[in-house]
């Protein structure tokens, strides 16, 4: 009937069938209608009556036993939650004794109260813990344990530790591998360890063998380092030490480039010395022209 699914005469028939006479059917009906509970009325009274004098406001709607009223009033009060108690304790607003008393009131057992105290503190994240442990020179097993304390699954703590430790830059790895093996046979594995995609291994290998700066290439060109026959004629490859080749390879220079550097490193006679040698018949005009070119004299001035 409340939900308007039946008519009044159907409701009266049901009530009479249940044995209720006509005089009390209305009261029975009203008793079945939804009605606020005492806590609901207390909450209503806080906003629509005096928050500090609720008993009278509630009494207008509910016959509350005066003996039980203080209990009902207290049950309708807000109480500190576990998290709020932890926050007050962290901020120094609760003593140790007060903190444990509040936890007891909330319902935590003697066994659980110390655990709840521990949970109230914020743990540094795993990375900060590792950094602190490293600064304090802790052993690796201790560091792994701290990582797990910071909510990292113990099964992956070692992997986490390996992942966050600083790795060499790719350029440092290339330089290191060149010193170990100029052919870079172990570079791929090293690059993979620091997260370089395999598609770029060849890129790093290619760039490991540098091309000399343009200024050096120009010097090599004017000193005939790219024309081995002429360089050989002038003895530019003489005294080429095997040790130079050995160490040049470990800087990424191939034998060809190291020989060009060697061929171009010699000091040259001055232009005046070249003229003196020409006048004395020690060299011819062609050789003088080659000397002037090696001295970076522009073509316009060579014939003058």
Q: Is the pLDDT of residue 1 over 70?
A: no
Q: 263 lies in a domain?
A: yes
Q: 3 lies in a domain?
A: no
pLDDT at 19: 78
Cβ atoms of 256 and 211 closer than 8 Å? no
Range of the domain at 202: 170-208
The whole-model pTM stands at: 0.64
pLDDT at 9: 74
Compute φ and ψ for 158, nearest 5 degrees: -65, -40
Q: 259-303, pLDDT tens digit by residue? A: 999 999 987 778 888 888 888 888 888 888 887 887 777 777 777
Same domain, 13 and 65: yes
Same domain, 148 and 228: no
Q: 1 lies in a domain?
A: no
Q: 235 lies in a domain?
A: yes
Same domain, 286 and 239: yes
Same domain, 197 and 225: no
Q: 15-71, pLDDT tens digit by residue? A: 788 877 777 877 777 777 888 999 999 999 999 998 888 999 999 999 999 999 999
Banded model confidence at residue 127, pLDDT cuts 50, 70, 90: very high
| Residue 223: exposure state from Cβ atoms within 10 A (0-12, 13-18, ≥19) | buried
Distances (CA, A) of 261 to 39, 178, 233, 239, 287: 95, 19, 17, 13, 22
Same domain, 219 and 275: yes
Domain termination residue (choose one: 208, 237, 260): 208
Cβ atoms of 191 and 199 closer than 8 Å? no
Same domain, 239 and 280: yes
Q: 54 lies in a domain?
A: yes
pLDDT at 304: 66
Count helices and strands (H / E) in the chain.
21, 0
Q: 2 lies in a domain?
A: no
Which residues, 6 or more positions from 126, have their beta carbon under 8 angstroms from its beta carbon? 146, 147, 150, 151, 152, 160, 164
> Residue 107 is encoded by which pair of tokens?
């319902």
Same domain, 44 and 67: yes
Give the helix/strand (H/E) hosting 138.
none
Same domain, 187 and 158: no
Q: 193 lies in a domain?
A: yes
Cβ atoms of 108 and 80 closer than 8 Å? no
CA 165 to chain centre: 12
Domain termination residue (choose one: 208, 227, 262): 208
Same domain, 104 and 134: no
Same domain, 24 and 96: no
CB atoms within 10 A of CB 225: 24
Q: 218-268, pLDDT tens digit by residue? A: 999 988 899 998 889 889 899 999 999 999 999 999 999 999 999 999 877
CA geometry: angle at 283 spanning 279 and 287, to 5°? 120
Same domain, 159 and 189: no
- The predicted model gives 86-112 an average pLDDT of 97
Cβ atoms of 207 and 170 closer than 8 Å? no
Same domain, 176 and 235: no
User: What's the structural domain count of the chain?
Assistant: 5
Q: 136-162, pLDDT tens digit by residue? A: 999 999 999 999 999 999 999 999 999
Q: 104 lies in a domain?
A: yes
Q: Is the pLDDT of residue 12 over 90?
A: no
């Amino acid at each position: 009937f409340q939900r308007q699914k039946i008519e009044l005469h159907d409701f009266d028939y049901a009530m009479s069938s249940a044995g209720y006479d006509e005089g009390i059917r209305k009261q029975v009906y009203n008793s079945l209608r939804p009605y606020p509970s005492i806590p609901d009325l207390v909450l209503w009274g806080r906003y629509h009556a005096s928050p500090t004098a609720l008993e009278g406001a509630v009494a207008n709607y509910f016959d509350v036993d005066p003996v039980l009223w203080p209990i009902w009033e207290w049950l309708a009060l807000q109480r500190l939650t576990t998290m709020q108690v932890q926050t007050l304790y962290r901020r120094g607003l609760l003593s140790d004794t007060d903190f444990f008393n509040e936890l007891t009131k909330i319902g935590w057992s003697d066994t659980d109260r110390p655990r709840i105290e521990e949970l109230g503190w914020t743990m540094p994240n795993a990375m900060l813990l590792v950094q602190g442990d490293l600064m304090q020179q802790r052993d690796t097993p201790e560091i792994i344990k701290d990582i797990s304390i910071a909510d990292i699954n113990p099964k992956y703590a070692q992997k986490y530790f390996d992942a966050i430790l600083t790795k060499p830059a790719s350029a440092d790895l290339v330089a290191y591998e060149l010193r170990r093996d100029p052919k870079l046979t172990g570079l791929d594995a090293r690059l993979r360890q620091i997260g370089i995609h395999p598609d770029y291994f060849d890129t790093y290998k290619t760039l490991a063998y540098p091309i000399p700066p343009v200024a050096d290439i120009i010097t090599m060109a004017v000193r005939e380092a790219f024309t081995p026959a002429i360089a050989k004629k002038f003895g530019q490859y003489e005294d080429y030490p095997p040790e130079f080749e050995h160490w040049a390879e470990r800087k990424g220079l191939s034998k060809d480039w190291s020989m060009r550097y060697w061929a171009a490193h010699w000091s040259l006679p001055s232009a005046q010395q070249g003229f003196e040698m020409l006048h004395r018949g020690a060299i011819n005009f062609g050789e003088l022209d080659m000397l002037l070119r090696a001295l970076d004299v522009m073509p316009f001035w060579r014939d003058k």
